[in-house]
Structure 1
Amino acid sequence: MAQNTAKPEQKKSKFQMPHIYVILVLFSAIAAVATYFVPAGQYERVPGPEGRITIDANSYTSVEQTPVGITDFLTVIPRGLIDAGEVVFFTFIIGGMFMVLRQTGIIEIVVDSLSRKFANKSILLIPILTTVFATVATLIGTPELSLVYIPVILPLLIALGYDSIVAAAIALCGTVVGFAAGVLNPINTGLAQKISGIPVFSGLGFRLIIFILAVALAVLFIMRYANKVKQNPLNSYVYEDDREKRELYRNAEKVEKRTATTRQKYASIATLVFFAILVYGVIGHGWFMVEMSGLFIFMGIVVGLIAGLSTVEIAEGFNKGFRDVLVGAIIVGVARAVAVVLEDGQIMDTIVYSLGNVVSDLPPILGAVGMYFIQLIINFVIPSGSGQALVTMPIMAPLSDIIGVTRQTAVLAFQLGDGFAHILYPTSGYFMAALVIAGVPYQKWIKFFLPLFVFWAGLSIVMLIIAQAIQWS
C-alpha cells in the first residue's frame, strides 16, 4: 500500500499587516469620510513667537461644511507629495549621496577598520551612539538628523553581527528621546514655553531626569534585542531583508585588511570636512533639509571626484541611490495626504478644539495625563514639533490654568505626547524615510518598537503625575 508522503499544509497566519501604502490610503479615506460628519471650524491665525503663525485660542468658530468629495480625494496623494516635497527630495538626495560614497570604497574601508577594532566590544556602541544622538537632539532638536546617522552606522553594525533594526533604533530612538525630553531644545521646549508665557528653558532639572530615564530604557531595550540577534541571526525580524547587506559587509574575518589608497584617504578627509560644515550649518545657521540637501549634492560630487570616480560613475551612483530610497520618498508624500484631507475639510481645528474640551472637566492630575493623550492623538495628524506647539499650546496653556494644571506641566505633556510618537505613526515623514534608508519595513519596526513605546508612555504618565503633584513650575 502506497504511503502518503505529502507534507501537511502549513497553517497560514490569520492576520498579516497590510502594506504601508494601504494603511495610509485607508487613513486618508477615513479622514475624507469624517469631513462629511465632523463639523467644520477654524481658529484665527495670528503672529506668534519669532514671527511664526499661531492661533487665537478664543477665536474658534464654526464654518460652512466643505466635505472632501471623490474628485478632491483623487488629488490628495499628489498634493501630499508636493506639500512634503522638502522631505521627499531630501530622502532622494541623501540616498544618492551615500551611494556615491559607497562607490568610492571609503565606507567599506572605515567599516572594515572599525569592525575589527570593536569586534570584541561591539555592544558598547549601542549606549555610546544612542546617548550621543540623544544629547545632540536635546540641545538643538532636529530628530531628522537620524536620516544622516542611519546610513553612516548601518554598515558598521551589520558588519559587527547586528541587523538593520538595531541601526535604525540607535538613530531613531536616540534622536527622539532627546527631542521629546527637550532639555534645551528650542524647537519644542523653547517654542512651547514662549507660547505659554513661562521662562524659556525653565524646569531644566526635571526634564534632565526624564532624559536620563528615557535614554536608559532605550539603551536596555535595544541591547536586549541586539544580543538576541548576535547570538542567533535568525532572531532578527529583518533576517531576509538584510541578506544582501550581510553579504556586502560581514567580511572582516574572510578577507585581508582593507587599506586605503592615497585618493581614498583624501576623499575620507573631505567627507569629514563636509560633515563638520553640516554640523556648523545646523547649529550655527539653522540649516534644515533644503540646505543639507544642497550640501549633500556638492559633497557627493567633490568626494567622488577626489576618490577617482568619473562624472558618469558619480551620476549613476546618485541614480542608484535614488532608486534605493524611492519607496520611502513616496511614502512621505502619501502620509502627508491625511493632513491634506483634514485641512481641505476644515476639521483639523475642530479636532483640536474638541480634544481640548475633553480634559476641561478633569481633576488636575488626570487633566495632566489627559493632555498627554490629547497631544499623542494630535501628533498623528500634525507630525511636527513646532507645528503642533503652534496649534495646541495657545489652547492648552490657558486651559491648564482653568483645570489647575501648571503651565510647565502642560508644556511637558505636549513634549512627551508629541515627541515619542514621531517614530510610531506612519504619518511622520522623516521617520518613514529613515526606515526605508535603513531597509526596515514599517510593519517589522512596529513589532520591534511597540513594547518600548509602551514603556516610554508609562514613564511619561508617571512623570506627569509627579510634576503635577509637586506643582512643578
Structure 2
Amino acid sequence: MFTFALIACFIGTPELAIVYVPVIMPLMLSLGYDRVTAAAISLCGTIAGFTAALTNPFTVGTAQMVAGLPLYSGMIYRIICFLIIIIIGIAYVMRYAEKTRTKPKDAIKSHTLKSNVTNRQKVAGIVTALFFIGMIAGVILYRWDMVTLGGYFIAMGIIPALIVGMGSKEIAESFNEGFRDVLVGAMVCGIARAVAVVMNEGQIMDTIVYGISTVISQLPESVTVIGMLITQSLFNFFVPSGSGQALIMMPIMAPLADLVGITRQTAILAFQFGDGFSNILFPTSGYFMATLAIAGVGWNRWVKFILPLFLLWMSAGAILLVVANLIGWY
C-alpha cells in the first residue's frame, strides 16, 4: 500500500489501481485473504497517495497554478498529511485483513519462490523499478501528460518482457490477456463518465457551483475550511476528475479563501482531500468502479467495508485543515 501511495503522490495516477488488482489478486487469495482485501490494498493505497499528493500535476499542480501559488509549494506540511493518511489506511486494511483471513489455499514457501526466480527475472525486476523512478522524474522534470505516460507504460511492459526472454508473440498474447481483463472496467468507466457529461450538457454545473460557494461564504472562518472539504467532496460526485474539478472550483475557492482569511494553500488542501477521499466511495468515479469490477467486488459490499475508513479519513482531513488554518500555512 505504501508503494502504491508513493507512486500516486508523485505522478497522480490513481487509475493504476486497475492494473494493480489483477497482479496482486492471485497472491492475496492464495494467502487466505478475500477479494475485498486485494481491492483495498490497491484502491486505498493509491487514493491515500493521490489525496495527499506531493507533486500530483493533475490536482496540486493545476490548483496551484490557478490559485497563483508557486508550483508544488507547501511540500513539508503535505508530507505530514501524506504520512498520517497512509498510516490510517494501512492500519485499517490490515485490521480487516486479519479479521477475515482464512486458511491459505496454497502454502507459499519463501525457498520455493527463491528457487524459481532466474537471474534474467531479477534483472527485469530491477529494470522495472528503474522505470518507476524514471516515470516520477519525467512527471516532475518534464511535466509528462497522460498520453506520454501511456506510451511509457507500453515500453515498461515490453522491455522487461524482452529481458526475461519472451518473444514478440508471447508479449502480444500477454497484452491481449491484459486487455481482456480490464475490458469490463473500461466499459464501466464510460458509463460512470456519462453523469458528468449530462451535467455539462444540461448547463447546470455553474448553477451548482454558485449555490455551493454562496453557502460556504456564510460560514464562520473557523468552520469555512471544513465547509470547503465537505463541498469539494459533494462536488466530486458530479465531476470525478481532479484536474477538471480544480479548473472549475479553484477560481471560486481561491478568492473566497482570501475573503474569509484562509490561505490559498489551505483551500487547495481542502480541494485535495475533498476530491481524493470520495473517489473510492462515489459510483461516478470511473476507475474506482472499474477496479471493483475487475476485483469481483460489488459496490454495496465495498461501501460496508470502506465507509468507516472514509469517515476516519474525512475526520483526519478536517483536523489537518483546521491546523493548517491556525498556523497560517502558505
TM-score tier, shorter chain, comes to 0.7 to 0.9
Cα distance per residue 1:172-193 (max 9 Å; x no partner): 2122122212234343223322
Contact 2:28 2:34 in 1 (8 A): yes
| Counterpart residue type for residue 277 of structure 1 | F
Over 3 Å counting, the alpha-carbon distance change for 1:252 and 1:135 in structure 2 is closer
On the 8 A contact 1:267/1:304 being kept in 2, the answer is no
User: Residue 74 of structure 1 aligns with which residue?
Assistant: none
Aligned equivalents of 2:218, 2:47: Cα separation in 1:
31
CA distance in 2, matches of 1:201, 1:310: 42
**2:285 aligns to what?**
428
Q: Which residue of 2 aligns with 1:280?
A: 134
CA distance 1:438–1:412, shift in 2 (3 Å): same
The alignment status of 1:329 with 2:186, answered yes or no, reads yes
Q: Which residue of 2 aligns with 1:222?
A: 93
Q: Is the 8 A contact 2:49 2:82 kept in 1?
A: yes
CA distance in structure 2 between the aligned counterparts of 1:148 and 1:214, rounded to whole angstroms: 22
Deviation per residue, 1:385-440 (Å, 9 max, x gap): 22211111011111122233332221121111111112222222222222233333
Pairs aligned (count): 326
What 5-or-longer segments of structure 2 have no aligned partner?
Answer: none
Is 1:350 the equivalent of 2:221?
no
Correspondence 1:252 to 2:108: yes
Q: C-alpha distance in 1, partners of 2:290/2:129? A: 20
Aligned residues of 2:39 and 2:295 also touching (Cα < 8 A): yes
Letter in 2 for 1:252: I
Counterpart check, 1:185 vs 2:41: no
Aligned residue runs from structure 1 range 73-472, under 5 A: 130-230=1-101, 232=102, 250-252=106-108, 259-260=115-116, 266=120, 269-270=123-124, 272-274=126-128, 276-277=130-131, 279-284=133-138, 285-287=142-144, 289-294=146-151, 317-472=174-329
CA contact 1:150–1:434 (8 Å) conserved in 2: yes
Q: Equivalents in 2 of 1:402, 1:434: separation in Å?
A: 40
TM superposition shift of 1:271: 5.9
SS in 2 for 1:380: coil
TM-score, normalisation: structure 1: 0.61
CA distance 1:258–1:193, shift in 2 (3 Å)? closer
Contact 2:127/2:160, CA 8 A, preserved across alignment: no
Greater gyration radius: 1
- Give the structure with the higher percent helix: 2
Q: Deviations over 1:248-304 (max 9, x none)?
A: xx2536x9768548xx75366446535633542453155555445545556666766
1:219 Cα deviation (Å)? 1.4
Give 5+ residue unaligned stretches, structure 1. Answer: 1-129, 234-245
Which amino acid counterpart does residue 413 of structure 1 have in structure 2?
Answer: A
Give, in angstroms, the shift of residue 378 of structure 1: 1.2
Q: Deviations for 1:367-397, whole angstroms, at most 9, x for unmatched residues?
A: 2111111111111122122221111101111
Query: Distance between the aligned counterparts of 2:73 and 2:151, measured in 1?
Result: 36
Q: Secondary structure of the residue that 2:240 maps to in structure 1?
A: coil
Contact 1:365 / 1:405 at 8 angstroms: preserved in 2? no
User: What is the TM-score normalised by the length of structure 2?
Assistant: 0.84
Query: Where in structure 2 are the equivalents of 1:12-27 lying within 5 Å?
Result: none
1:434–1:279 CA distance, 2 compared to 1 (3 A): farther
- What is the letter of the counterpart of residue 171 of structure 1? S
Give CA-to-partner distance per residue, 1:81-118, whole Å, 9 cap, x none: xxxxxxxxxxxxxxxxxxxxxxxxxxxxxxxxxxxxxx
Matched-pair contact (CA < 8 Å) for 1:140–1:283: no
Q: What is the rounded CA distance, in whole Å, between the counterparts of 1:166 and 1:273 in structure 2? A: 28
Aligned mates of 2:81, 2:240 — CA distance in 1: 22
Amino acid at match of 2:130: A
In 2: Cα distance, 1:157 partner to 1:256 partner: 17
Classify 1:309/1:211 alpha carbon distance in 2 versus 1 (closer, same or farther; 3 Å).
closer
Distance 1:395 1:145 in 2: 30
Amino acid at match of 1:218: G
Say what the alpha-carbon RMSD is for the aligned residues: 3.1
Percent identity of equivalent pairs: 49
**What SS does the corresponding residue of 1:381 show, helix, strand or coil?**
coil
* Distance in 2 between residues matched to 1:421 and 1:412, nearest whole Å: 14
The 2-side partners of 1:207 and 1:306 are apart by 38
Q: Give the match for residue 90 of structure 1.
A: none
Secondary structure of the 2:191 match is helix
Moved more, 134-143 or 349-358: 134-143
